[in-house]
Structure 1
Amino acid sequence: MHRYFTDQRHEALRHRVRDFAEREVRPRIAEMEANRSVCHDLSRLIARQGWIGATVHRAYGGMGAGHVAKTLIIEELSRVSAAMGAMVQASQLGVAKIVHFGTEEQKKTWLPAIASGDCLPTIAVTEPQSGGHVLGMSSTAVRDGDDYVLNGRKIYVGNSHVGDLHGVVVRTGEGSKGLSAFLVESDTPGFRVGEQQPAMGLHGFSFGELFFDNCRVPAANLLGREGDGLSVAYSSSVLYGRPNLTAVSLGIHQAVLDETTRFCTERQRYGKPLADLGNIKLKLGRIQSRLLLARLSAYHAVHLLDQGLPCDAELMNAKLVNVESALESARDAMDIHAACGLFTDRPVERFLRDAHHIFAPAGTSDIQLLRLGELALGRAQGDWSSRLADLLRLEPSEWPEEDEVPNEAPADPPVTVRAEGTTPTVPGQRTGPAHRPSWLARPR
C-alpha cells in the first residue's frame, strides 16, 4: 500500500537500509539486550551511512531525499532494532532546528558534518518538574557580553550519550516569548551528561540527562532570535518528532507480524501448524489489518509533508494510530506466543517493551486526541506544516534521478572501531565543514 507514495528511488533506498540492518545491526541485538547500555560504535556506523542527512539539502552535503525517505529509513532499521531506529530518529529530530531556524553560517558549519555522520545532533526540551509543559521549564540562559550562560537540567534527551551537538531550549525571559534555543557542543565547559540509566526497552539507545552549570555558549550559537525557543521546540516535535516516532512504531509493528506469522507456521498444535487454527487466524488478521492502516496513515502524512501541504492533523493522527496499533498488535502477539513469549530467546517480548517507549515522546495519545479535537472544533493552533512549508517542500531537483541510485547497496568501507565510546574511522570519509568545531578535531 505504501508504494503509492514511493518510487524506484525510495525502494532502492529501502533495500539498502534493509540489507545493512540485517548485516550489521541484527547480529548485535543480543549483546545490546544483555548489556542494556549505549551502543556507541553501532550508532556511529549507522550515522556514517549518510542517512541522518535524509532531509538535509544536497547543497549542504545531505541526501535531499525528504520525509518519505526518512520514514522508510527509520522503519527498516526499527524492524530489526527499534533502539537503532530510535537513534536515527532522534538524530534527525536534532536536524530540524537547524534546517528551520539556523542561520546560513550555522547551516554551513553543522549540516555537512551531520550529513556525513561526523556529528550526531540532539534536541533537549523536557525538564524534571515540567514534563510536557514546555512553558513550565526553569533552565535559564543569561546574556553576558558575546556569550550566554546556561544553567539547568534536561531529561529524556534522545542520544544524550552519543550526541555531539545539543539543541537546548531554555528560558531567557518571561512567558511564551521568553524561551530561546541554543546549540551547545558536547565538550563545552560547564556541560555534562548524566549517568545512563537502563530502561525497560530500546536497549542500545540513550535517552538521559544533560546538566548545565554556568555553561558559556557563544551568542552566535543562538538559533533564530531570542524568544524563538517555543517555535523551535514545537516545530521540531510536530514536523519531525511525530513522523519519526511513527516510523519507529511502524517498524516494530512489521517485526511483530513477521515474527508472529513465523511462530504460527512453525509451532504445532493438534498435529498441524498453529496457523491453521481459526482463532489464531483471527488474531493474525487483526495484526495485519492494523498494520495496513498504520502504514497508510504514516506514509500519507509524510507524503503531504514533502509536498509542502498542510498536514499537522495527519502527522498527529499517524503517531496516534501507529503507536496504539503497534501496542495492540504486540499484545496480540504475546497472546499467541503464550508462555513462549515470556522468554528472551524469542524477540516478541522485546517488541512489546520497545513499543511502550514510543508512547510518550512528542505527545501521548491523549495529547494527539486533544489536538485533533481542537482541530474538529476549529480551534487548532500552530499549523507548522503551513508556516514552514517552503523549508519542508521536497524540490524535484534535490534528490538524484532514478538512474543515479544504485539498485544494490555499495560495499561499505572498512571500519576500524577503537575502544567503546569512540568513533569508528572510515578511510576516505568526509571530515565535515570547513570551520571545524572543536570536538571534531579532538580524538574520540
Structure 2
Amino acid sequence: MPMPMPTTPATLDRFLTPSHQALWADADAFAQEQVLPLVERMESAPSRVDRKLARLMANRRWFGVTVPAAFGGMQAGHVAKTILIHRLARVSGAAAAILQASLIPVAALLHFGNSDQRTALLPSVADGSMLMSIAVTEPDQGGHIGGMKASAEWDGTAWVLSGTKAHVGNSHIADLHVVVARTAPHGTRTSQALTAFLVRTDQRGVHVHRHTSKLGLHGFGFGLISFDRVRIPSENVLGEEGQGFAVAQSSSVLYGRPNLAAVSLGLHESAVALTAQYISARPRSKGTLADLGVVRDRLGQMSAREIMARILAYHAVDMLDRGLPCDMELITAKGIGHELASDTGTDAMELHGANALDDSYPLQRVWRDMQTTYAPAGTGEVQRIRLAEGLLQEHRRSPEQTDDSGRIAWSVLLADRIRPARLDPAAAV
C-alpha cells in the first residue's frame, strides 16, 4: 500500500531552500510512481541485480547531484544529495543504495582527479551514461585497510593490478571502478602505501563474480570483483601514487557516512509509518492496538528517535555544504542514525507480533534492509572511537601528519575541493 507523501517537516526548515523542497517533492513522486512498482519484483528475485532503477535515476541526472555545473552536473550539494537518498530509501532501500553507492566514487574523482580526468569523466557521470563504484574492502580484511592484499606493481610501462575486492556497491552495473591497492612493501605506513586507480569493467583481467542474494537490499548488487594482472596506464592513477588511503578515507567520511545516514533515515521513517498504520488497524478488544497505552508509549519512542535521526542527518550535511568543519557530525549522523533506526526496527517488529515474520508485510523488507547500514563506512564501534579521538583532540590537520588510523579532519582539509559542488539553487531541480 503506498504511504502518504508528507510535505517537508518543519524540523528541517532551517536547512531547506525552496529548491530543496521542490527536489523533495520530485523525489517523493518518483519513488511512488517509478520505484514502488519495482519493489515486489526485486524482492521476488533476490539473486538478480536490478538495472532499470539505475537507468531511471540516470535519466534524471541524479548521479551528478554533486557534480559541478561546469561538467554538466546539478551542482546541488550535500543536502540535496541527502534528500534524494532519504526519500528513495523510504520506499526502497535498494533504490537508495544504488544511488548512494555510485556517489562515493564520484567524490573520489571530484576531490582527487586531475583536470584531464575530471574533464573526460565527469560529464558522463553527470548525464548518467557512466556509473562508478569504489572497491576498497577485501574478503578477508574487511574494513582493515592496513591489511590490504590487493597490489599493483609498475613494470616499466604500466601498473599491473591483482587482487580481489568484496562488497563493492554497484559491482554489476558500474562501468568504471575506483580500485585502491597496495603499491609499497608491507611495513610501509598505510597512509603512504596505497594508490587509487581508475579501472574499466571491460578491461582484460577484470572479473565480476556472479551475484548472490543477500539478507537485504534485494535488487542492489554489492559483490565480488577480481583483478588478474590488469594493466593500468599511469594516466589512470587517481590522485598521486601513495595517496590511496586519503582517497578511500575522505570519500568514506564525506560521502559514505552521510549517504548511509540518509539510507537509515528513510528506512527508519518507513518503519515508523508502517507501524502507525498497522496498530491503527489491528483490532484489540473493543478498539485497536493503538488504543493501548503501552503500545502508544513505544510508538512515541520510535517517533522521537526518527526526529533525532532526521536532525542529525540534515544538520551534518548542511554544515558540509556551508564549508564548516563537520567530521564529527558526519560520524554521529551515520553511527547514531543507524542505532536509532535499529532500535526502532526492533520495536516495529515486536509491535507487529507474529505478522512481522510474514513476508507479505513490507516491514520485514524494511527491517532486513536496516541491517545493511551498520558495517559500511565503519561499524558503530569505529564511529565511537573516532568521536572519542576528536574529543581528546587526537585528530591531525595535514596530510604530513596523517597516521595509520586516519585521524584527520577531511571536511577541513578538502574544504576548497568540496566548495565548488555546493548548492546552486537554480540547478537543484
TM-score calculated relative to the size of structure 1: 0.89
Q: Where in structure 1 do 4 or more consecutive aligned residues deviate above 6 Å?
A: none
The one-character-per-residue Cα deviations of 1:319-359 (angstroms, maximum 9, x if unpaired) are 11110111110110011110111111111111111000000
**Residue of structure 2 equivalent to 1:40:** 51
**Residue of structure 1 equivalent to 2:80:** 69
Task: Give the aligned length.
Answer: 403
**Residue of structure 1 equivalent to 2:384:** 369
Give the Cα–Cα distance (whole angstroms) in 2 for the partners of residues 393 and 294 of structure 1: 25
- Work out whether residues 53 and 116 of structure 1, in 8 Å CA contact, stay in contact via their aligned partners in 2: yes
- Work out whether residues 195 and 244 of structure 2, in 8 Å CA contact, stay in contact via their aligned partners in 1: yes
Three-state SS of the structure 2 residue aligned to 1:92 is helix
Mark the CA change 1:385 to 1:356 in structure 2 (over 3 Å): closer, same or farther.
same
Shift of 1:144: 2.7
Matched, 1:225 2:240: yes
Shift of 1:282: 0.6
The one-character-per-residue Cα deviations of 1:153-203 (angstroms, maximum 9, x if unpaired) are 000101001111100000111322120000001101111101111110000
**Residue of structure 2 equivalent to 1:28:** 38
Give the Cα–Cα distance (whole angstroms) in 1 for the partners of residues 91 and 420 of structure 2: 28
* Aligned with residue 14 of structure 1, among 15, 24, 27: 24
Three-state SS of the structure 2 residue aligned to 1:129 is coil
Q: Percent identity?
A: 45
* Aligned with residue 151 of structure 1, among 139, 156, 162: 162
- Work out whether residues 66 and 394 of structure 1, in 8 Å CA contact, stay in contact via their aligned partners in 2: no
Matched, 1:203 2:218: yes
The one-character-per-residue Cα deviations of 1:108-150 (angstroms, maximum 9, x if unpaired) are 1111111111111010001122211101101111113342111
Mark the CA change 1:364 to 1:170 in structure 2 (over 3 Å): closer, same or farther.
same
For residues 377-388 of structure 1, the aligned pairs below 5 Å read 377-380=392-395, 381-388=407-414
Matched, 1:135 2:150: no
Give the Cα–Cα distance (whole angstroms) in 1 for the partners of residues 142 and 421 of structure 2: 37
- Work out whether residues 320 and 368 of structure 1, in 8 Å CA contact, stay in contact via their aligned partners in 2: yes
Aligned alpha-carbon RMSD (Å): 1.3
Matched, 1:280 2:295: yes
Give the Cα–Cα distance (whole angstroms) in 2 for the partners of residues 90 and 182 of structure 1: 17
Give the Cα–Cα distance (whole angstroms) in 1 for the partners of residues 251 and 354 of structure 2: 41
For residues 188-267 of structure 1, the aligned pairs below 5 Å read 188-267=203-282
Shift of 1:394: 5.7
- Work out whether residues 80 and 428 of structure 2, in 8 Å CA contact, stay in contact via their aligned partners in 1: no
The one-character-per-residue Cα deviations of 1:355-389 (angstroms, maximum 9, x if unpaired) are 00000000000000011111111212210000000
The one-character-per-residue Cα deviations of 1:235-275 (angstroms, maximum 9, x if unpaired) are 01100000000000000001111111111112221121221
Mark the CA change 1:395 to 1:25 in structure 2 (over 3 Å): closer, same or farther.
closer
**Residue of structure 1 equivalent to 2:106:** 95
Which deviates more, 266-275 or 332-341?
266-275
Shift of 1:393: 2.4
Give the Cα–Cα distance (whole angstroms) in 2 for the partners of residues 228 and 10 of structure 1: 35
Give the Cα–Cα distance (whole angstroms) in 2 for the partners of residues 226 and 33 of structure 1: 42
- Work out whether residues 306 and 394 of structure 1, in 8 Å CA contact, stay in contact via their aligned partners in 2: no
Give the Cα–Cα distance (whole angstroms) in 1 for the partners of residues 266 and 419 of structure 2: 25
Three-state SS of the structure 2 residue aligned to 1:122 is strand
Give the Cα–Cα distance (whole angstroms) in 2 for the partners of residues 21 and 394 of structure 1: 29
The letter for the 2-side match of 1:117 is G
Shift of 1:217: 1.5
Shift of 1:3: 2.0
**Residue of structure 2 equivalent to 1:399:** 424
- Work out whether residues 307 and 394 of structure 1, in 8 Å CA contact, stay in contact via their aligned partners in 2: no
Shift of 1:40: 1.2
The letter for the 2-side match of 1:119 is M
The one-character-per-residue Cα deviations of 1:24-50 (angstroms, maximum 9, x if unpaired) are 110111110110021012222222211
Shift of 1:210: 0.8
Which deviates more, 227-236 or 216-225?
216-225
The letter for the 2-side match of 1:164 is D
Matched, 1:293 2:308: yes
Matched, 1:328 2:354: no
Give the Cα–Cα distance (whole angstroms) in 2 for the partners of residues 20 and 185 of structure 1: 30
Three-state SS of the structure 2 residue aligned to 1:356 is helix
The letter for the 2-side match of 1:390 is D
Give the Cα–Cα distance (whole angstroms) in 2 for the partners of residues 4 and 282 of structure 1: 29
**Residue of structure 2 equivalent to 1:438:** none
Give the Cα–Cα distance (whole angstroms) in 2 for the partners of residues 366 and 405 of structure 1: 36
- Work out whether residues 76 and 428 of structure 2, in 8 Å CA contact, stay in contact via their aligned partners in 1: no
Give the Cα–Cα distance (whole angstroms) in 1 for the partners of residues 249 and 380 of structure 2: 17
Give the Cα–Cα distance (whole angstroms) in 2 for the partners of residues 209 and 24 of structure 1: 29
Unaligned residue ranges in structure 1 (runs of 5+): 407-444
Unaligned residue ranges in structure 2 (runs of 5+): 1-10, 396-406
Three-state SS of the structure 1 residue aligned to 2:14 is helix
